[in-house]
Structure 1
Amino acid sequence: MHSDGSAPAGRSEPVVVTGMGTILPRTHNVRDFWNHLSTGTSQVGPLTRFDSAAHGLPVHAAAQLGEFDHRPHLPDLPDSHARKYTREILVVMSAISSALRDAGLGKGDVPPHRLGIVQSSSRGPLSWWRETLHTPDPTAPGGPFGDSGAMFRGLPGCPATMAAIHVQAQGLVTTVSSACVGGHHAIGLALRELRSGNADVVLAGGHEFPILPEVARCYLALGDGVLSPERDAPHRAVRPYDRDRAGFALGEGAVTLCLERESTARARGARVYARILGHKAMNEAAHGTSMDLTGKVTAGAMADLLTEVGRDRDQLGYICGHGTATRYNDLAESRALRALYPGRDDGELPPHGSNKPIYGHTFGMAGAINVAATSLMLHHQRLAPTANVVNPDPECDTDHVAEGPRDAELDLALSMSFAFGSQTSLMALERA
């Protein structure tokens, strides 16, 4: 694989997803990821990462990574290096390396200067800093500052840069932080790198490790209905579009997509999951923690994106929503669909779903999960169900594929992301 970048392909050059790395709760490969999504099997369980009662927090459910061994994913990483990294860094490096491997690429298959990495994280290594601040003598041997690895462990961009060294990526390597639209933004930056001719392959995705009492307090401070208090049935903690919604659960892990121009991917005989046609990012420049509840702003952005990629709304077969199971998010998405299709009955709107019931809310990684999930739906020609929709909110009573997985002739889909700070992001994908 080689390109000298002398003839940028431009906006019309298709970009495709050729690989995925998914390190999530009880999910260590694409097969696991698709199995959980396509069957609506929630990976949200009892919160054990911290004692919520001791902290006085009404939080009892989370999508937590269990024991993690990086060695099957990073077999050639020296133990002397691994010891300097946090578990979080090793998880992200594993997802990045897995995406490259899933694409059928190994070290040296891409010229180093043509390989880039773009990641997203809303908070970075918050757990490491928390441990550091709570350690009586952080400079003691074995403590947070007990060796030179402290410089690695404290940087938000370190997982991407350490992965770049490991896979020999000498192109653009960066980490963005733009709350819950960050995963989309990372993929959007990758599209620019590929279409400009600056890179042949970009490993784009996100990582988040927010299961901490301080993060829970942030969302509880916003009031009831944001962070789910579910205790008895944690797998049902996240109920988007349902009249009994109670908010989201915290989720963690790392997801990375291997992106290439379709011409180079086809030339090497790569398996292609989906095409990414375009990305639309905007800021409403309105309310800091809410969003346009008329639906008109989001519908306008959706219409603009479809026009930009040369598609029509009548071709749209699925919308992968942000779906946080918070009232404002659910209403905004449902109203946007109705505004995009004025005059249509709810039964005539495209299917619209959420994967938050499966992996919780993963903030800076959420957009990457959405694009990965949408790509697999296009690849398998099957819509994943929205789990836990039992009593639809009358204002959100559209087709959420709530009955279970559904075979479909799916050619065009949209992925949606929203974030605090008045941010909206949309990604258009097509069957390859």
Structure 2
Amino acid sequence: MTTTPCAPDRTVVVSGIGAILPGVQDVTDLWDVLHHGRSQCGWLTRCDSRETGVPFAAEVDHAICRRQLRGLSEAKTAKLSREMLAVLAAIQQAQSDAGRSDVDTDPRRIAVLGASSRGPLESWHTVLSPDVPSSPPSASRILRGLPGAPAAMAAINLGFRGMVTTFSSACVSGHHALELGLRLLWSSAADVVFVVGHEFPLVPWMIREWASAGDGVVAKSGTDPAKVVKPYDERRNGFILGEGAVALCLERATEVRRRGADGYATVLDVRNQSEAAHPTSMDSSGKAAADLLGSLLGSVGRRPEEVGYVCGHGTATRLNDLAESRAVMRLCQELPRSQWPPLGSVKPIFGHLMGASSLVNLAATALMLRHQRLAPTINCDLPDPACDLDHVVEGSRSASIDLAMSMCFALGSQMSAVALGAVDAAAPA
């Protein structure tokens, strides 16, 4: 069956989620480690930590992709990088999780929008490093070096013929892709949009670059990797780099309901803005971010007291912690503290996936809305008095929420936020 363009339905639903993340091979795993607060951060094995000065990483088991993509021939698999395979697997999962079949939609109306901060670092590392064996120059090697190749190769392998492109705007890349996806669906230019974030930054020179940014940016010391990342905590020591891919299937609510499905959450709106200020730092007063959140709420006709949860960028760096906490405080300053929403972070679970991080947060927030349960901010054992908010430190918490927000900040003076709403029916936790 094929569909034809119709009057646009502005209610867009996250109908499916796919995840190839540290310790996670599908959406069931994703929710399991999130709401149980099980960190997937560990010791760096992709390269020698003595070479990088950083002993920690959140790594993906490459065998997961190969197991999930058994339909691909060995010849095809050999031509695809780990990043391409992870993106393909994540999108396939999201399509299956949404309950979609290959004949549900005209393939010309299925779009794939990628998001990656650094692009194919592993491929370039192989090409440029004298210590890494490299294959002879070829068309496939040229393709591997393109930032948009994972999205393009996924579309080719799945037969999707709609718009395919990739955003690279540091950590807000995923929200930029999401905004385009919403516009395609709202305008009826597409019927299905897969938004996929991917990042594989665990190469020596990239880790060294981040390590050189100074103390408190990337965590460099600790005896237990699972307890190193401490957002909003007085003893914060920076983040751990992670790798992987996460995909969201976006559809108009009418189509999701036609299949008898509910989806995870409704995507109400997104705001992407530039502070037009410092290129590597954010407004620590929280005013710029509070204005952004207020504008977003205004666009969807909601009020601060209706927000049940805020998923922060949550990098466990001092400036990020202060800016986010103060933003929520400013947004809610006219309300009694009992009505301030919790502010959480999932980066102690999966590490920092850079260009994919905003979509990891969105997937996590959508799952919390679906299950009506807040995932904990693990390792926040001694909250910073300057971040005096509810961070859900006691463990997974039952909740009754129909509105949540997710924030993201990026190098280049960029910030963004997304508002998600609960679907009509929520599954039990």
TM-score range, shorter chain: over 0.9
Cα distance, 1:344–1:4 mapped onto 2, change above 3 Å:
same
1:52 to 44, 49, 54: 49
1:67 Cα shift?
Answer: 3.6
Cα distance, 1:266–1:303 mapped onto 2, change above 3 Å:
same
Report the counterpart of residue 235 of structure 1 in structure 2.
226
1:21 to 18, 38, 63: 18
1:3 Cα shift?
Answer: 3.9
1:413 Cα shift?
Answer: 0.2
What's the TM-score once normalised by structure 2's chain length?
A: 0.95
1:316-335 matches, cutoff 5 A: 316-335=307-326
Q: Which moved more, 1:306-315 or 1:243-252?
A: 306-315
Q: Deviations over 1:22-80 (max 9, x none)?
A: 00111001110001110110000111111121x2x431111011242434422322322
Matched, 1:162 2:134: no
1:306-385 matches, cutoff 5 A: 306-344=297-335, 346=337, 348-385=339-376
Matched, 1:201 2:198: no
Matched, 1:32 2:23: no
1:26-425 matches, cutoff 5 A: 26-53=23-50, 55=51, 57-135=52-130, 143-344=134-335, 346=337, 348-425=339-416
Find the aligned partners of 2:200 and 2:66 in 1 and give their Cα distance.
20
1:149 Cα shift?
Answer: 1.6
Instruction: State the AA in 1 paired with 2:111.
Output: G
> Could you tell me whether the CA contact under 8 Å between 1:61 and 1:231 is conserved in 2?
no
> Could you tell me whether the CA contact under 8 Å between 2:230 and 2:237 is conserved in 1?
yes
Instruction: State the AA in 1 paired with 2:381.
Output: V
> Could you tell me whether the CA contact under 8 Å between 1:374 and 1:415 is conserved in 2?
yes
* Partner SS for 2:271: strand
Report the counterpart of residue 422 of structure 2 in structure 1.
431
Report the counterpart of residue 7 of structure 1 in structure 2.
7
Instruction: State the AA in 1 paired with 2:17.
Output: M
1:314 Cα shift?
Answer: 1.0
Find the aligned partners of 1:407 and 1:70 in 2 and give their Cα distance.
33
Find the aligned partners of 2:105 and 2:125 in 1 and give their Cα distance.
38
1:248 Cα shift?
Answer: 0.2
What's the TM-score once normalised by structure 1's chain length?
A: 0.95
Q: Deviations over 1:209-253 (max 9, x none)?
A: 011221222222221100001331111111000000000000000
* Partner SS for 1:242: coil
* Partner SS for 2:202: coil
1:344 Cα shift?
Answer: 4.6
* Partner SS for 1:416: strand
Q: Which blocks of at least 5 consecutive residues in structure 2 are unaligned?
A: 424-429
1:312 Cα shift?
Answer: 1.2
Instruction: State the AA in 2 paired with 1:248.
Output: F
Find the aligned partners of 1:29 and 1:79 in 2 and give their Cα distance.
23
1:98 Cα shift?
Answer: 1.0
Find the aligned partners of 1:5 and 1:268 in 2 and give their Cα distance.
18
Find the aligned partners of 1:119 and 1:259 in 2 and give their Cα distance.
13
Instruction: State the AA in 2 paired with 1:257.
Output: L
> Could you tell me whether the CA contact under 8 Å between 2:25 and 2:64 is conserved in 1?
no
* Partner SS for 2:193: strand
Find the aligned partners of 1:242 and 1:428 in 2 and give their Cα distance.
26
Find the aligned partners of 2:172 and 2:380 in 1 and give their Cα distance.
24
* Partner SS for 1:180: coil
> Could you tell me whether the CA contact under 8 Å between 2:116 and 2:168 is conserved in 1?
yes
1:6 Cα shift?
Answer: 4.8
> Could you tell me whether the CA contact under 8 Å between 2:2 and 2:103 is conserved in 1?
no
Q: Deviations over 1:91-111 (max 9, x none)?
A: 111111111111111222221
Q: Which moved more, 1:218-227 or 1:327-336?
A: 218-227
Q: Which moved more, 1:148-157 or 1:390-399?
A: 148-157
> Could you tell me whether the CA contact under 8 Å between 1:331 and 1:396 is conserved in 2?
yes
1:346 Cα shift?
Answer: 4.9
Cα distance, 1:266–1:204 mapped onto 2, change above 3 Å:
same
* Partner SS for 1:298: helix
Task: Please provide the CA RMSD for this pair.
Answer: 1.6
Instruction: State the AA in 2 paired with 1:8.
Output: P
Q: Which blocks of at least 5 consecutive residues in structure 1 are unaligned?
A: none
* Partner SS for 1:235: helix
Q: Deviations over 1:172-210 (max 9, x none)?
A: 111100000111111111111111101110000200001
Q: Which moved more, 1:410-419 or 1:262-271?
A: 262-271
* Partner SS for 2:111: strand
Find the aligned partners of 1:105 and 1:130 in 2 and give their Cα distance.
37
Find the aligned partners of 2:394 and 2:286 in 1 and give their Cα distance.
26
* Partner SS for 1:149: helix
1:391 Cα shift?
Answer: 0.5
